[in-house]
Amino acid sequence: MKNTYFDLIDQTYYFPQEGFDLRNGSLTFHGISLQFLIEEYGTPFRFIYLPKIGDQIKKARNLFNRAIKKNDYKGRYFYCYCTKCNHFAHVVNEALKHGVHLETSSSFDIDLILDLYNDGKIDKSISVVNNGYKTNDYLLKIIRLYELGFENVLVVLDSKNELAKLEKLCGEHIIKIGIRLAIKEEPQSPYHTSRMGIREDEIEAFYVDRIKNNEHVELKMLHFFVDSGIKDNLYFWGEFQRALELYVRLKKQSDSLDSFNLGGGMPIRNNLGFEFDYEYMIKEIVQNIKNACIAEKISDPDIYTEFGKYTVGESGAIIFEVLEQKQQNDTESWYLINNSLMNTIPDAWSINEKFILLPINKWNNEYQQAHIGGISCDHSDYYNSEDLNQQVLLPVCHECDDTPLYLGFFHTGAYQDAISGYGGIKHCLIPSPKHVIIDKDEQGNIIHSIYRAEQSVGDMFHILGYNK
């Protein structure tokens, strides 16, 4: 009878598959022995595999360029990295190696742009798309980029009131602007229309009354953002079509309008059975824009995407040790790990986000249903379902086993550090785990190093004001 964990995975999915394989009975990630990393660094630790970032960028850019060529599309494609997804220097620098442009969402993001410029990582030709609510400080910093001679800085208006603030602060500069369309939310949303952006039925009048003959600004872009991302469903295509029709109407009134921004990113793999036809979606997007432009006899716009999670999500993982297997009743087995799930992968707790969960070792043990619990004193510190399954199935831990069971949550590279407050105070004073960077050298050899050690008692007490 085939009842080992390996048999379960082998019969349920195609395995091995991209990024995941076994070596000597233990899991590898893009050819890297995770057992080796555990022995080298101990657990828990999170890591980021930098080469995956470039792979994602190249894949999306190639698919857009192919679709553009196939459709004789005259506009250009701009791949923007969404900085709020992961601000770490090693991540942003890796993305910049592949010629990305940048999207910002707050005042301090502009400080990041300036830092990159001063370090010679970007030049003044880079496109910078400024989203988010524009405080006066945010706008002043954007204008600073204009003063420095940045050529392609674009302010996406999130509300009509932002234009008035911009006019007061811009001086003699002519500011390139975009307009964000307020999208209709999905049916299950607690509200009907996004708080971000400007109402569709107000945009054309707003353009005519406030922008068309305004000597301070130049309309360049229409922006829309679907929070659930680019997906092949009626909701996405409905919002896409609504935005495209609005672009056409605006373009007939504005010679300067030349860019269509798709906003939200493409999905990433969150289970071993994940399927998404990236080539089809991109082909359909480009073709639909092209057909609309032909029908209305307007020029093809430049296409912008703001890929954050898609860029960096699949590069990250976090590894835990199972401290104890507890049988709390006749049917429920709890696997207690050596950190807090709430602290380390907060999206799993807050918005029920799913990640790829796999054991590192013991693939030849039989399996059982398990609930994974963190060590914080909180009822909600658990993980007990997969994206394609209402159960978590894991190898059984035997008392006679010489080694503990190790677990990995994969494709956690987006948002988790920012939302958990990297380097700050964590629930129950459970420290942030060590952070490892994995890369390849010029010869293609794997190299790895600790970016930051596990948070110490002194670190936390200093923040709390005890060690002044």
Between CA 51 and CA 312 the distance in angstroms is: 10
Residues 266 and 332 in one domain: no
Question: Could you give the C-alpha distances from 128 to 104, 143, 154, 449, 456, in angstroms and in order?
Answer: 7, 12, 6, 31, 37
Contacts of 172 (CB under 8 A, 6+ apart): none
Which structural domain, as residue segments, surrounds residue 95?
51-307
> Which pLDDT score is estimated for 192?
61
Residues 109 and 252 in one domain: yes
Residues 76 and 151 in one domain: yes
CA 68 to chain CA mean position, Å:
25
The bridge status of strand 434-440 relative to strand 259-261 is: unpaired
Helices 234-251 + 278-296 axis angle, to 10? 30
The CATH number for 271's domain is: 3.20.20.10
Residues 225 and 323 in one domain: no
Question: What domain count does the chain have?
Answer: 2
- Closest of 192, 188, 182, 203 to residue 233, by C-alpha: 188
Cβ atoms of 308 and 86 within 8 Å: the answer is: yes
pLDDT in tens, 198-217: 999 999 999 999 999 999 99
Is the pTM higher than 0.85?
yes
> Which pLDDT score is estimated for 330?
86
Question: Could you give the C-alpha distances from 379 to 5, 339, 417, in angstroms and in order?
Answer: 28, 14, 22
> Which pLDDT score is estimated for 264?
81
Between CA 165 and CA 156 the distance in angstroms is: 13
Cβ atoms of 221 and 154 within 8 Å: the answer is: yes
> Which pLDDT score is estimated for 385?
78
Q: ∠ CA(198), CA(203), CA(207), 5° rounding? A: 125
Cβ atoms of 245 and 200 within 8 Å: the answer is: no
Between CA 385 and CA 406 the distance in angstroms is: 18
Cβ atoms of 106 and 138 within 8 Å: the answer is: yes
Residues 317 and 283 in one domain: no
Greatest Cα-to-Cα distance within the chain, rounded to the nearest angstrom: 79
Q: Is the dihedral of CA 252, 255, 258, 260 positive or negative?
A: negative
Q: ∠ CA(430), CA(436), CA(440), 5° rounding? A: 170
> Which pLDDT score is estimated for 328?
87
Peptide bond into 359 cis (omega under 30): no
| Position 281, amino acid | M
Half-sphere exposure of 64 (CA within 13 A, CB side): 19
| Position 288, amino acid | N
Residues 99 and 248 in one domain: yes
- Residue where a domain terminates, one of 307, 327, 346: 307
- Closest of 277, 223, 225 to residue 250, by C-alpha: 223
Residues 61 and 127 in one domain: yes
> Which pLDDT score is estimated for 187?
61
> Which pLDDT score is estimated for 430?
92
Residues 36 and 55 in one domain: no
158 phi, psi to nearest 5 deg: -90, -20
> Which pLDDT score is estimated for 349?
86
Residues 410 and 442 in one domain: yes
Residues 230 and 91 in one domain: yes
Residues 199 and 137 in one domain: yes
> Which pLDDT score is estimated for 195?
67
The CATH number for 375's domain is: 2.40.37.10
- Residue where a domain terminates, one of 291, 307, 323: 307
> Which pLDDT score is estimated for 401?
81
Residues 396 and 352 in one domain: yes
Task: Give the pLDDT of the chain (468 residues) as one tens digit per residue.
Answer: 578 999 999 999 989 999 999 999 999 999 999 999 999 999 999 999 999 999 999 999 999 999 999 999 999 999 999 999 999 999 999 999 999 999 999 999 999 999 999 999 999 999 999 999 999 999 999 999 999 999 999 999 999 999 999 999 998 999 999 999 987 765 665 556 666 789 999 999 999 999 999 999 999 999 998 877 899 989 899 999 999 999 999 999 999 999 999 988 899 999 999 999 999 999 999 999 999 999 999 999 999 999 999 999 999 999 999 999 999 888 889 999 999 999 999 998 888 889 999 999 999 999 999 999 999 999 889 898 776 677 899 999 887 788 999 999 999 999 999 898 888 888 899 999 999 999 999 999 999 999 999 999 999 999 999 976
For residues 291, 295, 298, 300, the Cα torsion angle rounded to the nearest 10 degrees is 0
> Which pLDDT score is estimated for 441?
94
- Residue where a domain terminates, one of 292, 307, 322: 307
